[in-house]
Amino acid sequence: MLNFPVPYPDELIYSTVARAGVHAGMTSPKQRLDEVFANRKVIATPDLPAHLRKISELYPRSLNLDVANIIYKHTLFPLYAPFVPEDRRIQSIKWMAGQSKGAVHLALGAAASRIKQIRFFRYCPDCLDQQLSQFGEFYWMRSWQVAGTNVCPQHGPLHNSRIELHGRHRHQFFALRPDVCVGEACEFGCAEDVRIAERISELLSTSPVESPSFEQWGLFYKLLAGDNGCAKGKNVLHDLVSEKVIAKWTTKWLEQNSLLSSMNSNSYWLKSIFRKHRKSFSYLEHIVVLESLLDSGWNFQSILNNVSSLKVKSVVSCPVDFSEDRPNQETLDMRSSWETFLKEFGVKKARFSGGAAIYAWLYRNDRAWLMKINGQHRRSSRSENRRVDWEKRDQDILITLKEVRQRTLNDMEGPRRSRNWYLDQLGTKATVEANLDKLPLTVEFFEKYCESVPDYQIRRIAVAIRHLDAASEPIRRWKILRLAGLSDERISAEAELYFKEVR
């Protein structure tokens, strides 16, 4: 695409693509996707978009807008990058450069985050005035679209627009225009929102650096607890940590951001963050803890440098010796006893059914044989669910499906009668779809009665002809195709053949 606009400071690349369509006078979302990405299946993703290599190739090298710079300066990726392992950070950048298919949101924890995502695009009225006077047009700033803060660090409360962040129009990039800026102001949490907005601005301005490991983050928070008198020996005193957090943040703000759930629970995030890290924590959780335990002069750059410099002890695993030395009589007796337990209980239950002492002796004295024999007696821990009579369930579903088909048999209007459509009529779509291997009658019904795409096109053509005939209008190909929602490019061979026969 020629004359693709250069992104403004702190502008979402989503907004840049939207402005490109406005500048070129494009009204069709598909046309914009063709021009920018040469791919009509690209999803308009505001926070962690993909296909960024296509955009970077539209700029000359002198602008220094390669994929990494676009990701770090014009997406929300910097909010997640420091808190995931380095290999995951690198892989996420590769996904965002090419195709992601939702993988980057899963890898960075955005899809499963406890933080409630915002629904609408947001804006700051005072910032809009500055944009108009400085650039002559409006654009979406990324700091406005971050979940967890409702204020602009410079001016005050943000306002909701009319545009949904993840609306029905998945392929359309919406530009920021005055007519969409009519929403109400977000609820203002005073000091909490201001502090969060300032820290988020810090994170968004970080440059591409190697991420600390989970081990380094875990060690950092353990040392942090000790420095604040919240540890006794090697144990973190979680009650004292909670008191410091409650003293710094209001209960209302923590509840609004889903950070106050079940403090007594063993899986409470505030406890988990001070334990050995096995998963990444969100930027909001890190900010809450750091603000509670550090002086006001701290900044993310120094924290990241500190965490990255920590030395973590490496764990050296003991090699298993599989040598075939001749065992003595005591070893043979222990082997025989353990084999008896294995045959009766399996590996896991044997240790909790009287064989713990034998297992421990063999682990210390005959580990090679123990590992080998355990591998031969492993049992699946998954139990078969026998609570459902799937044969009866299959028959009941078949009866319901036949009733649905009979009810709509003479209805020429309506959507395509696909498998998904029939499943939607059942009301238990997820359960049925997940257990189709246990429902042979249901599967047979789908194979026999589900409407194919050519059949659906033929039905739409027939309906269009009937409407034209009822209105006494001439039967023209273009009229039929328009009423049927078809085109010469998309019509199937079977539908084309039917079309020729009925003319």
Q: What integer pLDDT is reported at residue 501 of this predicted model?
A: 79
Residue 458 shares a structural domain with residue 440:
no
> Is 205 domain-assigned?
no
C-alpha R_g of the chain: 31
Which backbone phi and psi does 335 adopt, to 5 degrees?
A: -60, -45
Whether 31 and 102 share a structural domain: yes
- Give yes or no: residues 163 and 234 share one domain: no
The pair of structure tokens assigned to 77 is 């990726």
Instruction: Give domain status of residue 245, yes or no.
Output: yes
Same domain, 471 and 433: no
First-last CA distance in the chain: 43
Q: What is the pTM of this model?
A: 0.66
C-alpha torsion sign, points 460, 464, 465, 467: positive
Spatial distance between the Cα atoms of 163 and 181, rounded to a whole number of angstroms: 9
Local structure of 121: helix, strand or coil? strand
Residues 120 and 253 in one domain: no
Residues 17 and 102 in one domain: yes
* Domain shared by 359 and 257, yes or no: no
CB atoms within 10 A of CB 67: 18
Residues 163 and 39 in one domain: yes
282 with 404, same domain: the answer is no
- Inside any domain, residue 206: no
Residue given tokens 């963050």 in the structure block: 273
Question: What does the pLDDT read at residue 397?
Answer: 92
The reply to whether 285 falls in a domain is: yes
Per-residue model confidence (pLDDT) at position 379: 64
**pLDDT the model gives residue 76:** 94
How many whole angstroms separate alpha carbon 427 and alpha carbon 320?
54
Number of domains in the chain: 5
281, part of any domain: yes
Between CA 331 and CA 370 the distance in angstroms is 11
**Structural domain of 364:** 329-376
Q: Is residue 101 part of a domain?
A: yes
Two tokens, residue 334: 């222990």
Whether residues 394 and 258 fall in one domain: no
Contacts of 114 (CB under 8 A, 6+ apart): 258, 259, 261, 269, 282
The pLDDT score that the predictor gives to residue 257 is 83
Last residue of a domain, one of 253, 276, 309: 309
Query: Are residues 41 and 170 both part of a single domain?
Result: yes
Read off φ and ψ for residue 450, nearest 5 degrees.
-65, 140
Alpha-helical runs (H) found in 415-452 = 419-426, 429-434, 440-449
Residue 85's pLDDT is what?
A: 93
Any idea of the CA torsion for 295, 301, 303, 307, to the nearest 10 degrees?
Answer: -170
Phi, psi for residue 240 in degrees, rounded to 5: -70, -40
Which of 224-239 are b and which e, b meaning 16 or more Cβ less than 10 Å from the residue's Cβ? bbeeeebbeeeebbbe
Q: Identify the pLDDT of residue 284.
A: 92
Whether 144 and 153 have beta carbons less than 8 Å apart is answered as: no
Residues 67 and 40 reside in one and the same domain: yes
Instruction: Provide the residue-wise pLDDT of the chain in tens; the chain has 503 residues.
Output: 678 999 999 999 999 999 999 988 888 888 899 889 988 889 999 999 999 999 999 999 889 899 999 999 999 999 999 999 999 999 999 999 998 888 999 999 888 888 888 889 999 988 999 999 999 999 999 999 998 888 888 888 889 888 888 878 888 899 998 888 876 666 665 778 888 899 999 999 988 999 999 999 999 999 999 998 898 888 889 889 888 998 888 888 888 888 876 555 666 888 889 988 888 899 999 999 999 998 888 899 999 999 999 988 765 444 444 445 678 888 999 999 999 988 888 887 888 888 889 999 999 999 999 999 888 877 665 656 667 888 999 999 999 999 999 988 888 888 889 999 999 888 888 888 888 888 999 999 999 999 999 999 999 888 888 888 888 888 888 888 888 888 888 888 888 888 887 76
Cα-Cα-Cα-Cα dihedral of 91, 97, 100, 104, to 10°?
A: 50
Question: What is the distance between the alpha carbons of residues 461 and 131, in angstroms, rounded to a whole number?
Answer: 51
Does residue 370 fall inside a structural domain?
yes
Residues contacting 156, CB < 8 A, separation 6+? 124, 126, 188
